[in-house]
Structure 1
Amino acid sequence: MASDLAAKAKEAFIDDHFELAVDFYSQAIVCDPNNSELYSDRAQANIKLKNLTEAVADANKAIDLDPSNPKAYLRKGTACFSLEEYQTAKAAFEAGSILAKEDTRFTDWIKKCDKFIAEENGEIPIESSDATPTNVVAPSSATKDDEQVKDTSNEVITTPAKPKYRHEFYQKPEEVVVTIFAKGIPVNSVSVDFGEQILSVKIDVPGEDSYILQPRLFGKIVPTKCRFEVLSTKIEIRLAKAESIQWTSLEFGQNSLVVQRSNVSAGTQRPTYPSSRPTRDWDKLEAQVKKEEKDEKLDGDAALNKFFRDIYKDADEDTRRAMRKSFVESNGTVLSTNWKEVGSKVVEGTPPDGMEMKKWEY
């Protein structure tokens, strides 16, 4: 059954019906979920559809199932290259070249990666007479099955409209923390992969539909410093920023702009949450409120209440217990600070002159 579906998928791919090919490959994977070739082939169809993060996830799964599958490394490398993750792409091509030394496509792609990495680092790459073109196209020796798609660095990679689990993020100068609110998920059901500018999360609980979160991130991260933790109520993922810049969103988009670097030390910077409202200096506002409270001049009951609040704030635990117990038991008519006096008895109410206490009738 799986082989028949795979044959139909390849036929659809040859006819440039890439969506149909992905559908057939997905059906084949259901029948044979441990087949590395099916994942690597679906990765190529996803590359054609510009579903680059999905392609990386498929390639990673293919590698997990069969680390000796060179095609999977080729798929991962080409998808990461289009995502401008040149270091990750180069690592994949190098791993694949070890497995398939006779395949010159890996060597060609490694040269391309070196060129773009050098440009990113501000180095001047050494040009040779037989240098390959710098635009993203497949090496001349590649078959139609291995052609590379156009560079999609400015395209938005979207997640499903109605995800199974809600997620949000906040950030510090040095990291971004992504939280997926999923309760009671077994640790072995969660897989997380980090790229230079890609996050791939999969929650695969037996008997349930898989949850996949694969955003292309707003900025680049350091994969070796990233980590995640599966807790009882959520999954917390910490992304180490490659640069101390403020992310205006979690995902990269067409309108993403380069923002100013953060000059605040990690120890004093508060986590910032994405918002469309004007930004405020909360530290300055807090200091202003405290100053106004200190300088505030009150009269009558307001002044008396402030006096009692100040006592409670600076009191020890016994004094606070006495104040709470006496106030509650006397229905707000007695406020004692002596725990030895009120701790062993019920505090009776003492109404003001000219008034009497009455119990509320239910």
Structure 2
Amino acid sequence: MAKELAAQAKEAFVDDDFDVAVDLYSKAIDLDPNCADFFADRAQAYIKLENFTEAVADAKKAIELDPSLTKAYLRKGTACMKLEEYRTAKTALEKGASIAPNESKFKKLIDECDLRISEEEKDLVQQPVKLDQTPPVPAEPSKPKFRHEYYQRPEEVVVTVFAKGIQKQNVNIDFGEQILSVVIDVPGEEAYHLQPRLFGKIVPEKCRYEVMSTKIEIRLAKAEIITWAALEHGKGPAVLPKPNVSTEVSMRPAYPSSKRVKDWDKLEAEVKKQEKDEKLEGDAALNKFFREIYSNADEDMRRAMSKSFVESNGTVLSTDWKEVGAKKIESTPPDGMELKKWEI
């Protein structure tokens, strides 16, 4: 019966009825969940429907069931390329090419991945962005079955899926360059999928998760120290974390200090001059002042500024990489101020 449904799905695919093909492949999978071909073929139908995250998940499942199935690697690579996950795509395509070295499609797609990766590296210089703060924002639930939320720190995003009593063996979580795939599949129940294309890129090997009695906590390691405007891609501009993301300085507003700039009165005077000259007020003048410093800095100075700013919780802004790169920068509030922990 499962093979008959798969045959009908192939006919629908040939007729460009991709929704029907997906539905028929899904019914075939329900009857035979261990058939790698069904998952690989449904992945192809998903690609035609431009449901690329679902295609990646199906191709990954097909590879788990049959690591020698070359079309699964091809479809995972194709879907990842559509999602601009070129390094992940290249890894899958190279594995498929090692199994089928005479298949020309692999070489063509690998060459395209190399080209795209090269272009990304050329555009890697980070543009100055304004200082701002985005507080923890709950994400919209993908399904009524389980609710999920997220909050972030400068170096990571923490996603929580509120699912009670789920066993670890029923949870499958995969990390891509800009993809999070969460599948909760409890026998006898409808599977839960959370598969967003993330707002920013992550470092998959540094990501981790933990299945608890009432929830699943997922920690995504950011590839860049920026504040995500949302969990999903394309929902707002990225910004650098504002001072006080994880700490709060009391008494009066504190401007980031520097190992080279210790005269706070002088720094404030310069900021006020900027406000007068440019007719800017408040944070606008301060943001312009630091953007100019960052835009005129060389690579080492920018690295020093980012590292000192984040590690000191916004109280130190140094441009000396030789000093900053050799140690962890401690929080150093200005004289007359005290450092208070930020309650999350």
Aligned partner of 2:200 among 177, 200, 219? 219
The answer to whether residue 256 in structure 2 is matched with residue 256 in structure 1 is no
* CA offsets 1:75-112 (integer angstroms, 9 cap, x no match): 11000000000000000000100111110100000000
CA offset at residue 160 of structure 1?
7.8
Gaps of 5+ in 2: 124-138, 253-344
Q: How does 1:32-51 map to 2 (within 5 A)?
A: 32-51=32-51
How far, CA to CA, are the matches of 1:160 and 1:172 in structure 2? 21
How far, CA to CA, are the matches of 1:202 and 1:246 in structure 2? 26
How far, CA to CA, are the matches of 1:89 and 1:159 in structure 2? 28
* CA offsets 1:286-335 (integer angstroms, 9 cap, x no match): 546xxxxxxxxxxxxxxxxxxxxxxxxxxxxxxxxxxxxxxxxxxxxxxx
How far, CA to CA, are the matches of 1:167 and 1:161 in structure 2? 8
Alignment partner, residue 248 of structure 2? 283
CA offset at residue 283 of structure 1?
2.3
How far, CA to CA, are the matches of 2:58 and 2:232 in structure 1? 20
The answer to whether residue 78 in structure 2 is matched with residue 97 in structure 1 is no
Q: How does 1:207-356 map to 2 (within 5 A)?
A: 207-253=188-234, 255-257=235-237, 259-262=238-241, 269-270=245-246, 283-284=248-249, 287=251
How far, CA to CA, are the matches of 1:250 and 1:220 in structure 2? 11
Alignment partner, residue 28 of structure 2? 28
CA contact (8 A) 2:142 2:194 kept: no
Secondary structure (helix, strand or coil) at the match of 2:241 reads coil
Identity of aligned residues (%): 61
Secondary structure (helix, strand or coil) at the match of 1:197 reads coil
How far, CA to CA, are the matches of 1:67 and 1:269 in structure 2? 44
Letter in structure 2 aligned against 1:283:
E
The answer to whether residue 164 in structure 2 is matched with residue 183 in structure 1 is yes
Gaps of 5+ in 1: 124-157, 271-281, 289-362
CA contact (8 A) 2:140 2:149 kept: no
* CA offsets 1:229-274 (integer angstroms, 9 cap, x no match): 1011110000010111110110113x432x233376xxx742xxxx
CA contact (8 A) 2:39 2:59 kept: yes
Aligned partner of 1:194 among 163, 166, 175? 175
The answer to whether residue 4 in structure 2 is matched with residue 11 in structure 1 is no
Secondary structure (helix, strand or coil) at the match of 2:217 reads strand
Alignment partner, residue 147 of structure 2? 166
Letter in structure 2 aligned against 1:182:
A
How far, CA to CA, are the matches of 1:68 and 1:260 in structure 2? 44
The answer to whether residue 86 in structure 2 is matched with residue 121 in structure 1 is no
CA contact (8 A) 2:140 2:148 kept: no
Letter in structure 2 aligned against 1:75:
R
Looking at CA atoms only, which structure, 1 or 2, has the larger radius of gyration?
1
Secondary structure (helix, strand or coil) at the match of 1:21 reads helix
Letter in structure 1 aligned against 2:29:
I
How far, CA to CA, are the matches of 1:174 and 1:98 in structure 2? 36
The count of aligned residue pairs is: 238
How far, CA to CA, are the matches of 1:159 and 1:68 in structure 2? 38
Secondary structure (helix, strand or coil) at the match of 1:121 reads helix
CA contact (8 A) 2:141 2:147 kept: no
Alignment partner, residue 203 of structure 1? 184
CA contact (8 A) 2:74 2:96 kept: yes
Alignment partner, residue 79 of structure 1? 79
Change (3 A) 1:43 1:9: same
CA-based RMSD: 2.0
How far, CA to CA, are the matches of 1:246 and 1:44 in structure 2? 35
CA offset at residue 208 of structure 1?
1.3
How far, CA to CA, are the matches of 1:75 and 1:208 in structure 2? 28
How far, CA to CA, are the matches of 2:241 and 2:141 in structure 1? 32
CA offset at residue 162 of structure 1?
3.3
How far, CA to CA, are the matches of 1:161 and 1:171 in structure 2? 19
How far, CA to CA, are the matches of 1:2 and 1:36 in structure 2? 13
CA contact (8 A) 2:141 2:148 kept: no
Letter in structure 1 aligned against 2:86:
Y
Letter in structure 2 aligned against 1:78:
T
TM-score by length of 2: 0.66
Change (3 A) 1:161 1:263: closer
Change (3 A) 1:29 1:108: same
CA offset at residue 161 of structure 1?
5.6
CA contact (8 A) 1:159 1:215 kept: no
CA contact (8 A) 1:52 1:80 kept: yes
